[in-house]
Amino acid sequence: MRPADLEALQLRRLRETLERVGNVPFYRELLAREGIRPGDIRTLDDVRKLPFTEKQDLRDGYPFGFFAVPRAQVVRIHTTSGTTGKPTVVGYTAGDLDHWSDLIARNMTMVGLTADDVFQNSVNYGMFTGGLGFHYGAEKIGMTTVPAGTGNTRRQIEMIDDFGVTALHCTPSYAMHLAEVAEEMGSDLPSLRVGMFGAEPWSDATRAELQDRLGVAAFDSYGLSELYGPGVAFECQEQDGLHIWHDSYLVEIVDPATGEPLGPGERGELVVTPLVKEAMPLIRYRTGDITMLLEDDCPCGRTRRVARFSGRVDDMLIIRGINVFPSQIEHVLMALPEVGDQFMVYVDRDEHHLDEMTIEVEIKRQFFSGELADLARLQAKIVRALRDALELRTHVRLVEPGSLPRFEGKARRVVDRRGCL
């Protein structure tokens, strides 16, 4: 599709979306208050005249306040995990489910999967969109789909081996756990060749390790329930940034503090207006996720990409006035060969009201010499590497292998204890 044709399609769908949100009292009142009529949107840039939609708005509409169609047309409901507050309900028409599975199917086709593949979906199949979302996308391609869900890791590995599973979808932290258990069981998972990992940010160092340990090409998957679920953005075989399907999503990057638009190469919050959603259309939804538009075109020839996500606006920690994303800490730790896969971050306020950050790491067995002095040197090396990257002094605690929590859903590695005095 030529760029001009794509823009015309986006503009038409944006106007249709504006018509649809007219069925939602929240939007009807909001647009009336702002004095905006659908006819005011003449170009794509006019989207900036529209107000943002925040996560809190959706919470206030609990449970069905944002549905733009009669409830009888809603064929499925998912909820967000509710880790940051009351759950948010999202609804789908039959048309939405078709669209959504189509987007997932496109993504999986993009990374080279076909009906010849056997696909194991090792994420939660409940209210979490990652389970059913990937499931129907995979079936649309015609892949042999194994709805494994989470847990019972040894059985999961047996299934991969017994069924000749070629493609896996799970969180990157569960993938790491699968790799550990597979190694314990003495299986090198010979059939696996594609790993699709999402629902939490992960670094290039983690990618290198997962590719090495699982023997896969590892692709980053991005999405959120409010925008259907997974499938919003996905890496192609270049593994360098995520493609967004611009026929279905209108993308902006804004400064999280001011809401002002940012250009390519400038890191900020992803704001998305979905263009084809029927049951729950949204206008300029603030995802809370941090990324940037990449300036150059992808060698694969597909449309414009965003950079890999580097954390959440609300995960950003402010430690003694310095902005820290947990993903930066992960990046530093994964670059150190001596350090294990898991880590935990604790933030406290000391008796002088200063913020203190403590990071717990496991030391890999093969790097334990038996000498205390070597451990102390390693501890100092980790502190130095973190200080160089974060411009912040941290405490590093070395803990026994296997003692840190392993996460099967969204990893919660940061414990901020500054509030609980």
Partner 1 sequence: MAANEYIIRQISVFSENRPGRLAAIAHALEEERVNIFAFSIAEASGFGVVRALVDHPARAHERLTKDGFNVAFTDVIAVRMRDEPGGLYEVARLLGEAGINIEYSYAYSGPDGAVLILRVDRPEAAIAAITAAGKELIPSSAFA
Which residue(s) pair with 343 in the sheet? 361
Q: Which is nearer to partner 1, 389 or 404 (CB)?
A: 404
Q: Which is nearer to partner 1, 144 or 358 (CB)?
A: 358
Going by DSSP bridges, is the β-strand pair 414-416/339-349 parallel, antiparallel, or unpaired?
parallel
Is the CA virtual torsion 408, 410, 415, 421 positive or negative? negative
* CB of 355 vs partner 1, minimal distance in Å: 19
Q: Which is nearer to partner 1, 43 or 366 (CB)?
A: 366
* CB of 376 vs partner 1, minimal distance in Å: 5
* CB of 75 vs partner 1, minimal distance in Å: 48
User: H or E element: which one contains 176?
Assistant: helix 172-185
* CB of 171 vs partner 1, minimal distance in Å: 23
Nearest to 200 by CA among 309, 324, 305: 309
Residue tagged 């999402």 (tokens): 198
CB atoms within 10 A of CB 22: 15
Going by DSSP bridges, is the β-strand pair 76-79/89-92 parallel, antiparallel, or unpaired?
antiparallel
User: H or E element: which one contains 108?
Assistant: helix 94-110
* CB of 373 vs partner 1, minimal distance in Å: 8
* CB of 409 vs partner 1, minimal distance in Å: 24
Angle at 226 between CA 407 and CA 104, to 5 degrees: 75
Dihedral angle, C-alpha 168, 171, 172, 178, nearest 10 °: -60
* CB of 382 vs partner 1, minimal distance in Å: 13
Going by DSSP bridges, is the β-strand pair 194-198/217-224 parallel, antiparallel, or unpaired?
parallel
Q: Which is nearer to partner 1, 102 or 180 (CB)?
A: 180
CA distance 190 to 164: 8
Q: Which is nearer to partner 1, 237 or 403 (CB)?
A: 403
Q: Which is nearer to partner 1, 208 or 380 (CB)?
A: 380
CA distance 281 to 113: 30
CA distances for 418 relative to 269, 320, 415, 421, angstroms:
25, 12, 9, 7
* CB of 364 vs partner 1, minimal distance in Å: 9
Q: Which is nearer to partner 1, 220 or 360 (CB)?
A: 360
Radius of gyration over every alpha carbon of the chain, rounded to an integer in angstroms: 22
Q: Which is nearer to partner 1, 323 or 369 (CB)?
A: 369
Binding site for partner 1 (CB under 8 A): 363, 365, 368-373, 375-376, 379, 397-403
* CB of 365 vs partner 1, minimal distance in Å: 6
Q: Which is nearer to partner 1, 371 or 391 (CB)?
A: 371
* CB of 160 vs partner 1, minimal distance in Å: 25
In this structure, are residues 99 and 93 in contact, taking their beta carbons and an 8 Å threshold?
A: no
What residues contact residue 247 under an 8 Å CB cut-off, 6+ apart? 1, 6, 9, 10, 13, 275, 276
Q: Which is nearer to partner 1, 28 or 397 (CB)?
A: 397
Nearest to 192 by CA among 156, 209, 212, 168: 168
